[in-house]
A = this chain, B = another copy of it.
Amino acid sequence: MTDKKHSLDTVNIQYYTFAEHPNELKLVSGKSLGPITLAYETYGELNKEKSNAILVGHALSGDAHAAGFHKGDKNPGWWDGLIGPQKAIDTDKYFVICSNVIGGCKGSTGPASINPKTSKPYGLDFPIITIEDMVRAEKYLIDHLGIKRLLSVIGGSMGGMQALQWVALYPDHVQSAIPIATALKHSPQQIAFDEVGRQAVMADPTWNKGDYYDKPDKPEKGLAVARMIGHITYMSDTSMEEKFSRRLKDKDYNFDFTADFEVEGYLRYRGDNFVKRFDPNSYLYITKAMDYFDVSGEKLISKAKASSVRFLVIAFKSDWLYPPYQVQDIVRQLKIKGCDATYCEVKSTYGHDAFLLEIEEETHLIKHFLNKTFHGYNVVR
């Protein structure tokens, strides 16, 4: 997956600031936000026609660093298996952009950013944002880069929501979309898992109603619990069985409340690690945005039809967080309206995590789809 030979060289994070007073971004909630900075990375070169740009959306805990290596880093970006020279999203051919969402904590404006009105971190004064707001912010970036029409918008999980939202908002600026392991809207079960994660953060007294940035403690324990819940939903029953079964950390049961089983140790490790790199308030804002997301009904399909956007929609058999029936529903809605949509269900046991792990299968599907979209486009024009 991290084949250095086919990896990008050192990549750098960049920043773009916009929506400065008095031109703040008007949000779905009715509130405004500005100035906004988006942290983003780009890979490959934009061609003369500006027709080879692909926007990649990240998932809940992702960031702008989708591919290549930051100077001195041992690990590449989170989708390096798919993005790079001769990979599925071929940086020898395409110009790839990935930005951290607003509300995030990896360089883009979010609740940990300085509120220009108070010169302190926003905390809960940060307005509630939606996937639509995230995409509107991304549109500023795309405009800034001089791109009129994206060859494709692609992403898994929340990244897939962004892909769908791009079509719903800017159908004439998107030639194709590849939503992966995602849904038109969250089911009550998905909302419930998000809500329990939020409750875990907010139950931590150091959360202090979001005001912890200048305090010695932040709600790391609460966020770790939220992340542990998340991790269970990202894996499948089968992948957990394959990875851990009932193996013990030590020879026998400890007969106390330390971690007896390997799966317990793994969850604690993942929880503890996550809090080092993620802002608890961002966890609240981003999960809320996902719960509010809803492009069912006419919102997406009427736009998709009018602008003849092409869709490649991918699901994973063992994904029970975004189960295939939800992904199929996207395709069904599109097909009913006569849109050009292809559905592929990958036989993976990795659960929701599959969108990050099933690189080979995704490569087969995405590479050809992009190729046809790109060359078809050039010919038709």
A188 to B221, CA, bound (A): 22
A257 to B202, CA, bound (A): 9
A26 to B264, CA, bound (A): 27
Structural contact, A192 and B224, CB atoms closer than 8 A: no
A55 to B34, CA, bound (A): 66
* Contact size range, A: 35 or more
Structural contact, B268 and A199, CB atoms closer than 8 A: yes
CB-CB contacts of A255-285 with B at 8 A, as 1s and 0s?
1110111111001100100000000000010
Structural contact, B200 and A225, CB atoms closer than 8 A: yes
List A283-298 residues whose CB lies under 8 Å from chain B.
284, 288, 291-292, 294
Partner of A192, one of B30, B200, B240, B257: B240
Partner of A241, one of B187, B228, B232: B187
A244 to B237, CA, bound (A): 26
Query: How many subunits of this chain does the assembly comprise?
Result: 2
Residues in B whose Cβ lies below 8 Å from that of A191: 246, 261, 263-264
A228 to B268, CA, bound (A): 19
Structural contact, B255 and A128, CB atoms closer than 8 A: yes
A199 to B224, CA, bound (A): 9
From residue A295, how far is it (CB to closest CB) to chain B in Å?
13
Residues in B whose Cβ lies below 8 Å from that of A245: 188
Residues in B whose Cβ lies below 8 Å from that of A241: 187-189
Given A192-B228, A195-B228, A198-B257, 12 new contacts (CB under 8 A)? A127-B255, A128-B253, A128-B255, A187-B240, A188-B240, A199-B267, A203-B221, A203-B225, A225-B225, A237-B323, A257-B284, A257-B288
29 A-B Cβ contacts within 8 A? A29-B253, A127-B255, A128-B255, A188-B241, A188-B244, A188-B245, A189-B232, A189-B235, A189-B240, A191-B261, A191-B263, A191-B264, A192-B231, A192-B232, A192-B240, A195-B263, A195-B264, A195-B267, A199-B228, A199-B267, A200-B200, A203-B204, A203-B221, A237-B323, A246-B294, A253-B292, A260-B291, A260-B292, A261-B291
